[in-house]
Structure 1
Amino acid sequence: MIIKINNKTWELDQPSVNDVIEKINVETNDQYFFSHFIADGKEIYENHELFLEDHLTGISELEIVLKTVKQFINDILLSASEYIQRAKPELPPLVDDFYNHADKSTWNRFVAFLEGLEWLNQMIAVIDGTKQHPINWDQYLIIAGAMKEHLETLQEALENQDEVLIADTIQYELLPLLEELEKEIDSTIDQEGYRYDIS
């Protein structure tokens, strides 16, 4: 199997999953993040280890795609911005449903919203762990701290099935925080990053 990383190429006779991971770890230092890999032309973005365990013996060429820390932060912020843009219009109807007594669909949408907030918190934690931060990083940390507090409130409301508290927390606390986070992300991308031209 041929492994390509950052314009370097290795030919391994019978590589193990650990061999591949070790190569990735050696090449990803403080300057790079592992993004995804391309196995015989097929891009794989998630469950990397599982994919390798299932398909390693059949792969003839594995290209490991790394991004600089700056590219990685830019791309993850673009994803967060897209998520917030999709989530914001969904929240007022969700809030209304909680004020008017939630049904199964309402609870399912609420769980999806919680997963999105958790993802945003993880994104901020990942960027915080890098050596490079956007200029306005302190604002992100303030927003993340406030989001965590409100998530705890939501957790209590969920345990008590307090639909009014859930609706109030989303409407008056989390929606404004998401709008604030979106402004910070847009500011970072416009000042320090870039948007991909889709035209």
Structure 2
Amino acid sequence: MDKLEIVNEYYKYISKIPTGLQYISDNLRTDNVPLALDEILNFSEGLSWITKVEHILIEQGVNTHLNKQQLDNFLNLINEGLEKQDFVLVADIFEYEILPYFEQFLAQD
């Protein structure tokens, strides 16, 4: 896979994230917690993939300007909310913090 293909796959994946974040939030708000938890796991795994691809892109001289520290902060907030089983808080984090972050990230590129 060449650099252009990697960049295209990266942004193709990132462009799907806002819809997934809203889906998670909606499911948490409608008490469909098991489905939401599965999707949160998928989101977490997706962030892991993004981080790996970011490393490859940086080695190739491509800077995507994704704030990895901010993503870690989001994951910590989600974990705290899940530990408390405060699903309204977790839904709010997805909808009002993470979703706007990715929308802004996509708007700048």
Unaligned residue ranges in structure 2 (runs of 5+): none
Deviation at 1:150, TM superposition (A): 0.8
Unaligned residue ranges in structure 1 (runs of 5+): 1-34, 36-70, 188-199
Q: How does 1:54-133 map to 2 (within 5 A)?
A: 71-72=2-3, 74-128=4-58, 130=59, 132-133=61-62
State how far apart, in whole Å, the 2-side matches of 1:109 and 1:131 are: 31
Deviation at 1:86, TM superposition (A): 2.7
Pair 165,76 (structure 1): closer, same or farther in 2 beyond 3 Å: farther
More helix per residue: 2
State how far apart, in whole Å, the 2-side matches of 1:181 and 1:146 are: 12
Contact map agreement 2:81 2:90 (CA 8 A) in 1:
yes
Deviation at 1:170, TM superposition (A): 0.8
Pair 122,158 (structure 1): closer, same or farther in 2 beyond 3 Å: farther
Contact map agreement 2:22 2:99 (CA 8 A) in 1:
no
Considering only CA atoms, is the larger Rg found in Structure 1 or Structure 2? 1
State how far apart, in whole Å, the 2-side matches of 1:132 and 1:93 are: 34
More strand per residue: 1
Identity of aligned residues (%): 24
State how far apart, in whole Å, the 2-side matches of 1:155 and 1:122 are: 21
Matched position secondary structure for 2:61: coil
TM-score under structure 1 normalisation?
Answer: 0.47
Pair 172,121 (structure 1): closer, same or farther in 2 beyond 3 Å: farther
Equivalent position of 1:59 in the other structure: none
Pair 101,85 (structure 1): closer, same or farther in 2 beyond 3 Å: same
CA distances 1:130-178 after superposition (whole Å, capped 9, x unpaired): 16234xx5xx14x222111111111222222221121111111111222
Task: Give runs of ≥4 in structure 1 deviating > 4 Å.
Answer: none
Equivalent position of 1:154 in the other structure: 78
The aligned amino acid for 2:62 is H
TM-score under structure 2 normalisation?
Answer: 0.78
State how far apart, in whole Å, the 2-side matches of 1:121 and 1:162 are: 27
Contact map agreement 1:98 1:167 (CA 8 A) in 2:
yes
Equivalent position of 2:105 in the other structure: 181
